[in-house]
Amino acid sequence: MQSIQHRPGCNRRQLRSRLLNGALRSRRCAFTIIELVIVLLIMGILTAVAAPTFFDSLLFHRVESAARRVKADLELARTQARLTSATQIVTFSGSTYTISNTKSLDNPSAGYSVDLTKQPYALDSATADFSHLPKVAFDGYGTPMSGGTVVLVAKSHSCTVTLNGTTGDVTITSSHSGGRTAQVPGS
């Protein structure tokens, strides 16, 4: 049996040569500082181009989420009126609205109230107009006393929540920056 030290075909010079070639080969596979700087510059340019669009879409999402919340709460008031056979009133005061005879989801000892200027919505304004009044009442059958709109605005984006005075149906229409309008799906 041969010793490991005396293997034929493996001398110290060849071993040293293989080690140096391996070290040089791994050194050739690394990135230079110039390549890293170029990649970072490209990433910075792409970020600068994409960031405004990204923040604009976040802003629009906030407005649309607030519109969906208002729509859901108008439908909640309508459903509560039908279930209890009692009048339910949704009152808007600036960017805050309340639903009468409904408890808060977070604090059962408090009334139901939503402030649209706070997170997660952080809107600039909310304007309600139900036949020139900032409130709408649903009778015991769930029929609104009048139709109207709630306009939600954050910078260049707005959504309009429309309550049909005859049917009680609620729809959402959004206005994007640049003058484009669209019906929000599911509304």
In this prediction, the residues of the chain whose per-residue pLDDT falls under 70 are 1-28, 177-187
Domain ranges of the chain: 33-183
Calculated CA dihedral for residues 23, 28, 30, 32, nearest 10 degrees: 130
Q: Distance between CA 136 and CA 92 in Å, rounded?
A: 9
Calculated CA dihedral for residues 164, 165, 168, 174, nearest 10 degrees: 20
Report long-range pairs for 11-14 (Cβ below 8 Å, ≥24 apart): none
pLDDT of residue 156: 85
Q: What is the dotted CATH code of the domain comprising 33-183?
A: 3.55.40.10
Contact predicate 96/105, CB 8 Å: no
pLDDT of residue 125: 94
Question: What pTM, to 2 d.p., does this model score?
Answer: 0.73
Give me 54's structure tokens. 């990204």
pLDDT of residue 152: 96
Give me 48's structure tokens. 């600068």
pLDDT of residue 178: 60
Give residue-wise pLDDT tens across range 4-52: 555 555 566 665 666 566 555 555 578 899 999 999 999 999 999 988 8
pLDDT of residue 177: 63
